Structure 1
């Protein structure tokens, strides 16, 4: 679920993490710790969650049903919607309020989560990034985020509400009793953001070559937070990283878009006959029983739609039952294909949506991968329960029920590198696999990221291995995690760490737990015991809200193995306040400095070798020798592309042709270089004052940093930095400021409100002579290729067989 960020020349400091304690019975000894039971760490069993790891006789969870109408205004890049929500209180508690998530507020300068990160003064920067840094001060509303225009109960009476950053509390007129339900109506709108420029999971991507947009609409409607037996309301702020805890329910969604748009959304479209031509409808019906993808909207039709945008509108209607969320993709650029996949006697419609930029990869692989993933995950967990599963190419990687957004684009000539192909295969399997974790087995991703990403990465690994025995999986095999495990302890956190506080997010939340589970399966429990217990966990907690204790206990309960030592080792240390202002750096923008050297696009220095594993790990070897396993690429010859043969030495490349292409590419490559600042930029930035303040936490107790600036004209300004600034480095942080006036002195905690035990290190009264950093305007198109875009010369282009 990673996303694109514009290349930034500020270096953001890395910050340290809080984590679940490994409580030891005998910490001063060399025994009595590693193999002690987890009883002092895990939550106490009760009537909701039993000691066996199964839901108890009094287990309960809430439900929220949505009836939504929305319209996508492509011209003004705005989404407007209204929703009627029916909230069912299945808890034993009377509720006086309910909480909603407003995730779009992530992009608002005033209502975002205000979790700041350490920042430092850049050596040189673009004007765009300076403006972005200035915008983080949160003193000007940029107009983004959710705009609530109406909130009433079922009778039309106004309801009182409070917005706290990315969360919204609705105050109920009377307490909502156990077993009762509450209906409310909510109208809202927001400006759709440029996802590649501003970041985030949803928004639009603009294609200047054909003048069209591709919309990925995610976290787009105000939605209920989870109220659970183990923590009450899960209303932690959305910072952009930690994902979602969500409530199951039924969705009826009407989406109005330009008439030439194609939509893929959560659930089944129940009015295809109204929005599709008879020819496309016939293709869709034919795809249901097809064993290979059928194009429902063809490449030629998508190209034609790009050239003549429609001004009319159409409304697509979707129904999705027993899901925790709803997302959709919409564009006139979409080619749309699909095929059926049988799972437990039912047909799952496996479909893909992609632009011409991804055609040669997605047309061959995407829907086949969706089908393979749905089938394989079903074998390892529970039968896939939904009627559709969809993959959308959007230079992205993010998941929602029945639909996900992925990456993988070809060169303009239709060829692609093997790394692009393998990346595309991996991301489609991973994101489609998220249907099972956490869309069905619905863990709290914001609290325990690994229960989502780690479990899914583990089954992704199993699925990749069954796709092609030579597939170069990046996580799962034990050797792939060695370099991470070698890192100094101050660069590591336990896997049981909140998502916001992880320094090395990928290895911690994805690779390490996936590897741990694979080691447990292959080297400790054996496949038979492990697979049975893992399926039992999925069966017990499908459409429910499990915690880590429920997984740990179920795996032991269903296998007869005492694994507390394993969970402790693979998954689990009174300080005063003394914050010191250690140094202050001061700079002015160098508007006439020497331009940085031009950077040319990267090109491969030689023909890329086959990207196969360097050796057959335990899983690959066992799979190859298992006569019951038939790899998909062996069974379906349509998947055997150039690289499948290249990896097996069945095809070569023309080295002379490669050298010729490289020479031409080097001569024609356009350098990616900054541009000199304009007169307007000069006027804007010449009188700015740039400061970097470095702080150290000498006492050890993390607290907010309160900074008072005194300017040369005698005025003062106070900045209050949240305590979360220490979350990735509890000892030292820095903060970059852009001021309109020169600073003469700085003081920490001027009102003495943090109980700082040493005020002698809270002052800075003498500012050093300014250094300079170079400031340039970013060249148009200089952000580099989108995620998953194949770049450079690739072996397909110099195949000896051409």
Structure 2
């Protein structure tokens, strides 16, 4: 979103302000070396029982599981959340675990957190921020015992004192904790906002969560510094929040005690919404003086459950308006789309009244084209967080106008597919969620309401209103080899995270689909990748191999040049000659590759007789050297030869892409 929609620690959605700061440059010609990009043995990992060389999970693929039962309460006066998380952890790995590691991402708010000390190493500690752990108990066998632990920044370690969790064993943990909700907490991904009718509270990273133990790194304990987001196992999460009775609460997953706590009018409207393709008001402006629960005073416990999820988040307010509609899913299944937002979000040119419509349409598109939405409810929450995703739930900025509202709605709920269904490691490889999701958004935007907000390629990919293939040139040229798509986000210069992880990654998939493979081959392979890795943990190599096997093409040159490097592309017409100097015998065109990146050659030839030749020279011609010559069977004089006339590939110098005869 625009900068006002994000704080300094948040990801930003479009990248207009970032790209506009890039300087113009003059490309420096590089000596093309085919062996650097067409590598004989690109893949160093040859496949094993856990991950197949075909890009699929192997026959002995495994992942651990942590199921959570969380009971929490929140004091709206002191802003203190008090919680008790009970964790059932299953060691499905072949390894004994000598210790357990947990994520305490809320500790990013500590004044002396690692993230803050990177900029101010002498900052004093503030004990009022971050988690306050009051008790940790372990059940390993039949008895509970209080156990020592070590908190290190945003991680907790529990050492098992020569009693490892053996392969196949299960243990239980119980952790009691509190923390004070900050105005911008959890790395800017939670917080609160004052409105006319009460505060909006948004809760994320709100309970200790198990780190992932996998077959690549063992324990994944990278600290939460701010740019890298989640990497979590799949879980069943059962959570209850006890809050004052006058609040509206929404959460990821399904409210399972709605019949017990919601008023009859609210239950009736929700029933109507579950059967309606049009948005149904659940709590309108006229209802703001009334609560939505049966209780009118005291406290109410809202009980949610979510299956097969990486995480849950929730929000609450007395100020929420609430509306909902039915989501139509494949095989006749349905789910519920809902939005909550303050009255201020409906005023002037703001578009929250269309949020549910947009979420519904986006989920229906993604479900039909890629993979069915797996949850019962999808929720969009208006509040202070400008755009943050969780499984089946998104925090979006309360001041969004129509175009931005659609970008938020389609993008943040689109993260349900990447990385919530396809569970990649956001802390290391943000291009696998931000970029893949942004690519999905492009196709959804073309379809929504007959392209009301399309084309997204001009709105998001090319924020200056130009062509995305031309604008990506600035990103590639200025980010350099120190900041590639394979660089973890916390190791990147911050100004390049979004141009690379969102823009370059998404445009790379567009190149694959529109230029290199074609829609049919790409869509099949990409869909196969999603289905193979749904609710599992793929790595970049798994994606690369899966796409190659699904499409039947060696794409190692593309992964090498586009993902591992920021190599540039410059295809130049060297010469155009009539065969045997006779215009009726055709022409011979010589093209040079003047940079290290390669692409197929997209060619258009115009004749004086009106005939136009359009064709593609396969990328394999560059395996043999820096120049290639091909014949075109023209029968009259040629008026022009053009490489990439529609600007579909990121050629850094288009002045050498056109040949015309001298007059």
Q: CA deviation at 1:487?
A: 5.4
The CA deviation at 1:115 is: 5.5
The within-5 A match list for 1:402-801 is 402-409=392-399, 420-467=401-448, 468-470=450-452, 471-473=454-456, 474-476=459-461, 479-480=467-468, 482-486=470-474, 489=477, 491-492=479-480, 493-503=483-493, 504-572=496-564
Residues 537-582 of structure 1 deviation map (CA, whole Å, 9 limit, x = unaligned): 0000000000011111111101111111111121119xxxxxxxxx
Query: What residue is the counterpart of 1:228 in the other structure?
Result: 214
1:109-148 matches, cutoff 5 A: 109-113=111-115, 116-117=118-119, 137-148=122-133
Could you say what secondary structure the match of 1:364 adopts?
helix
Q: Does 1:350 align with 2:337?
A: yes
Distance 1:311 1:204, change over 3 A: farther
Cα pair 1:266 1:327 within 8 Å, conserved? yes
**Equivalent in the alignment of 2:568:** none
Q: Distance in 2 between matches of 1:295 and 1:374?
A: 20
Match of 2:346 in 1: 359
CA contact (8 A) 1:303 1:333 kept: no
Contact 1:398–1:405 under 8 Å retained in 2: yes
Deviation at 1:484, TM superposition (A): 4.2
> What is the TM-score when the length of structure 1 is the normalising length?
0.62
- The offset of 1:65, in angstroms, is 0.5
Instruction: Indicate if the aligned counterparts of 1:481 and 1:512 stay in contact, CA closer than 8 A.
Output: no
Do structure 1's residue 284 and structure 2's residue 279 form an aligned pair? no
Size of the alignment, in residue pairs? 524
Contact 2:94/2:167, CA 8 A, preserved across alignment: yes
**Residue equivalent to 1:681:** none
* Contact 1:294 1:338 (8 Å CA) reproduced: yes
Residue 316 of structure 2 aligns with which residue? 330
Bigger relative contact order (CA 8 A; separation at least 6): 1
Query: Is the 8 Å Cα contact of residues 79 and 191 (structure 1) preserved in structure 2?
Result: yes
Confirm or deny: 8 A CA contact 1:151 1:187 kept in the other structure.
Answer: yes
Structure 2: tracts of 5 or more residues without a match: 10-17, 19-29, 566-601, 603-663
Question: CA offset at residue 42 of structure 1?
Answer: 4.6
Contact 2:103 2:211 in 1 (8 A): yes
The DSSP-based 3-state class of the residue aligned with 1:215 is: strand
DSSP-derived class of the 1:175 partner: coil
The whole-number CA distance in structure 1 between the counterparts of 2:424 and 2:476 is 30
Aligned counterpart for 2:96 among listed residues 78, 94, 103: 94
> Which of these residues, 72, 82, 85, is aligned with residue 84 of structure 2?
82
1:260 offset after TM fit, Å?
A: 1.1
Give the Cα separation in 2 of the matches to 1:291 and 1:365.
Answer: 13
Contact kept? 1:195, 1:205, Cα under 8 Å: no
Instruction: Give the match for residue 370 of structure 2.
Output: 381
- Paired residues of 1:115 and 1:239 also in contact (CA < 8 A): no
Residues 241 and 310 of structure 1: CA distance in aligned 2, closer, same or farther (over 3 Å): farther
Q: RMSD between aligned alpha carbons? A: 2.5
Shift of 1:469: 2.4
Deviations 1:510-550 (A, max 9, x none): 01111110121112211111100000000000000000111
Q: 125, 132, 151: which is aligned to 1:163?
A: 151
Matched, 1:369 2:358: yes
For the residue of structure 2 that corresponds to 1:524, the secondary structure is helix
For structure 1, which segment, 549-558 or 560-569, has the greater mean C-alpha deviation from structure 2 after superposition?
Answer: 560-569
Deviation at 1:475, TM superposition (A): 3.4
Matched, 1:194 2:183: yes
Q: Offset of 1:75 from its aligned partner?
A: 0.9
Distance in 1 (CA, whole Å) between partners of 2:104 and 2:359 is 30
C-alpha distance 488-286 of structure 1, shift in aligned 2 (>3 A): closer
Q: Which runs of 5+ in 1 are unaligned?
A: 8-13, 15-26, 118-132, 411-419, 574-617, 619-802
Aligned to 1:32: 35
1:215-364 to 2 correspondence within 5 Å? 215-302=201-288, 312-344=298-330, 345-359=332-346, 361-362=350-351, 364=353
Asked if 2 retains the 8 angstrom alpha-carbon contact of 1:42 and 1:549, the reply is no
8 Å CA contact 2:202–2:314 kept in 1: the answer is yes
SS at match of 1:163: strand
User: CA separation in 1, counterparts of 2:133 and 2:263?
Assistant: 37
Deviation of the 1:156 alpha carbon: 3.3
Residue in structure 2 matched with residue 690 of structure 1 by the alignment? none
How far residue 30 of structure 1 moved from its aligned partner, in angstroms, is 2.7
**CA distance 1:245–1:115, change in 2 (3 Å):** farther
Whether the 8 Å CA contact 1:106–1:238 is kept in 2: the answer is yes
Partners in 1 of 2:445 and 2:475 — Cα distance? 28
1:214 matched to 2:204: no
CA deviations over 1:161-188 (Å, ceiling 9, x no partner): 1111110011225110111100011100
